[in-house]
Amino acid sequence: MVDDNELERLRDIAVPAPDGEAKARAFAAAMRAFDMDEKFSTAPQGSAAGLRLTERARKLWREIMQRKLIATPAITALVALPIAGYAAFEMLKEQPPVIGGNGKVTETVSDKPVARKPALVQPSINKPLTVAPAKEKKTDADSEDRLKDEAEVAPVSPPKPATEVDSLVKQEMAPDALPAPAPAESSQLASGGRANAQAPAAAMRSAQAPAGAVAGPKLMVQPAPMPADQMQPQEENRDRIETFKTNPVHGTAQDPVSTFSIDVDTASYSFVRRSLKEGTLPDPDTVRVEEMVNYFPYDWKGPDSAATPFNSTVTVMPTPWNGRTKLMHVAIKGFDVKPAEQPKANLVFLIDVSGSMDEPDKLPLLKSAFRLLVSKLKADDTVSIVTYAGNAGTVLMPTKAAEKQKILSAIDNLEPGGSTAGEAGIKEAYKLAQQSFVKDGINRVMLATDGDFNVGQTDDDDLKQLIEKERKTGVFLSVFGFGRGNLNDQMMQTIAQNGNGTAAYIDTLAEAEKVLVEDASSTLFTIAKDVKIQVEFNPAKVSEYRLVGYETRALKREDFNNDRVDAGEIGSGHSVTAIYEITPKGSGAEQVDPLRYGQAKVDNGGVANADEYAFVKIRYKLPNEDVSKLITTPVTAVNEVPSFDEAGSDQRFSVAVAAFGQKLRDEDQTANFDYDRILEIANAARGADPFGYRAEFLSLVRLASSLGGTK
């Protein structure tokens, strides 16, 4: 046992002064404890750990002490005072005192915490959670400076999931004194990453509670990031595209006759091109194979005189995607009217200026496109301009193209706004066309729009009847589509086909130049109308056949000889291509089983023309006539080439385009025919390409291959 006297003596002994080594050990232990405390300190949600203003001051002081830069107490004071003053200044700037009328600092309601029951906090998808804690903490008093100084250099902390919101709130706030959440300002919105990491300091100050509200630093809680398609609401796509089924295979013995209207529209190719260049494969229903094939100019042999408006060339060749079938390629070339012989034109520009046209690829592009067309017109041609939005109005009365500046000024002054009264616009346009009607000339309404008519007659059938009625007056109609998201391609096709005109889709100024400048003659100057094709296949030579494309142009067999049935038009110098895939009899490639009973039998005994593959008939009317004329062409071995490579370059290129269209529609016939083979055929048959259309096609095939694979 220790003697009490010894304890008393120990108590009275003076404590020895610590030596330098002991001081160093104690100081190092204190600094390690300090570092450990900072390491586990909780930072506000969505911000980088540490690095608040006071933390920066402590860090600076610690580094000074560790490096032993302070030699004397005087130097210590010189360094410490600015640091302390800077911290105090920033804290006062963030929470300034309220001075009363007597010059004394007074306490306001906003300085007192209000006891509240904790509220359930629900994070929003687009807005960060903003909560004012009950007890003022120094942790966020300096957040403004931290954000201002370090937004560009601090590492971004990953956002905490929504499930951590409650625990985070509990860590930062007293549960018995929770003020109401302050409303989030627009500057506080964030879509991911650190909450308000790049918000300006002024915006942070504006988010503080107004006078009279509960004041205090705010805790910004960022919910878990949402998928991009949920965070950014997608604009509704209201494009209207006509759906259709691919032409089936027909057995010649049961159904030997195929009848359809020719088609010189090109809208589908432009629509497909835009989709591919935007990085997506096109909707199969936007792919009309015949419009893709007929997009390109071909050097088919044309007629020798205008007395016969067009000439047909038929070629039979092996099918590149099926070694046991053949292709029957029908090429039509219209008579090319010389510029000096072109009749006068009476054109009415019917322009949609509704609110939806206020996009760069709509009204601005439309205006540039029509400026190009005006530059192509002759001085004696006439131009009128009708616009429609909430209602229709005449912007320019019939004006000679010689007054070019007046016409261009009227185009430049067009502005978008309102709904879409298309019916009223069409009626007004036809009225102006009749006022300036040119006998034996070109009288055409040129409708430019992005979509639906939502005022007046909006049903496609009603519009069809209106157009058919006006067509009989000799005024034709062409339609030009612009933009995406509101495009009514189905309506465009309907009224163009029934208005004796064409439908084109203009997505770029280069396309506008092609349609309205390079192809102006074929677009404006019709040389034949109601052109129909009927092919009768010989069952002795052909077991089956399939028409590639033209699904929306099919006609009944009896329609061919009925002059009251409308069909397509051919313009000056226009080329039209139709392709049949045929199965020679006995080839073994038949897809339809033969009939067990009542099978048709054909032999050479007494049967005329038994050596023909088919008999092609083309019926047409001259622009100012109502009675059709007939052109016929028998298809025999004379029309056949032994190998695909021996066909002409234009034939081979058009077949490559047809294969590409079928591939995009995912048709069975080309399922095993890859994009590389299409590219190989098109590249070998590229030929003369003065405007680069075929080179662009090659790039589209490559894009489709990369987007859809090589299968």
Mean pLDDT of 17-33: 76
What is the domain range of residue 393? Answer: 348-524
- Are 361 and 503 in a shared domain? yes
Percent of the chain residues past pLDDT 70, beyond the cut: 63
- Answer yes or no: is 710 within a domain: no
Q: Is the pLDDT of residue 232 over 80?
A: no
How many structural domains are present in the chain? 2
**Calculated CA dihedral for residues 159, 165, 167, 172, nearest 10 degrees:** 80
Mean pLDDT of 210-229: 43
- Answer yes or no: is 682 within a domain: no
Distances from the Cα of 421 to the Cα of 426, 490, 627, angstroms: 9, 18, 36
In the listed set 485, 506, 524, which residue is the last one of a domain according to the structure?
524
| pLDDT higher at 698 or 1 | 698
- Answer yes or no: is 425 within a domain: yes
- Answer yes or no: is 171 within a domain: yes
What's the whole-number average pLDDT of the chain?
Answer: 75
- Are 171 and 30 in a shared domain? yes
- Answer yes or no: is 376 within a domain: yes
Count how many residues are written for the chain.
711
- CB distance 635 to 541 below 8 Å: no
- Answer yes or no: is 277 within a domain: no
The C-alpha atoms of residue 129 and residue 606 are separated, in whole angstroms, by: 91
- Taking only the tens place, the pLDDT of each residue in 535-576 is 999 999 999 999 999 999 999 999 999 999 989 888 888 899
Q: How confident is the model at residue 500 (pLDDT cuts 50, 70, 90)?
A: confident
Mean pLDDT of 99-128: 42
- CB distance 96 to 105 below 8 Å: no
In the listed set 478, 505, 524, which residue is the last one of a domain according to the structure?
524
The C-alpha atoms of residue 237 and residue 240 are separated, in whole angstroms, by: 9
In the listed set 464, 490, 524, which residue is the last one of a domain according to the structure?
524
Return the CATH number at 369. Answer: 3.40.50.410
Instruction: Tell me the whole-structure pTM to 2 decimals.
Output: 0.65
Residue 88: what pLDDT? 57
List the one residue out of 79, 82, 110 whose CA is nearest residue 97.
110
The C-alpha atoms of residue 640 and residue 648 are separated, in whole angstroms, by: 12
The C-alpha atoms of residue 704 and residue 682 are separated, in whole angstroms, by: 14
- Taking only the tens place, the pLDDT of each residue in 505-532 is 999 999 999 998 888 777 778 888 999 9
Give SS3 for 472.
coil
Six-digit token string for 573: 């110098």
- Taking only the tens place, the pLDDT of each residue in 35-50 is 665 554 444 444 444 4
Q: Is the pLDDT of residue 216 over 70?
A: no
Mean pLDDT of 357-364: 90
Q: Is the pLDDT of residue 354 over 70?
A: yes
The C-alpha atoms of residue 471 and residue 264 are separated, in whole angstroms, by: 18
Place of tokens 């017109």: 377
Q: How confident is the model at residue 468 (pLDDT cuts 50, 70, 90)?
A: confident
- Answer yes or no: is 262 within a domain: no
- Answer yes or no: is 462 within a domain: yes
Q: Where are the beta strands (DSSP E) in 224-269?
A: 250-251, 257-261
- CB distance 644 to 680 below 8 Å: no
Residue 44: what pLDDT? 45
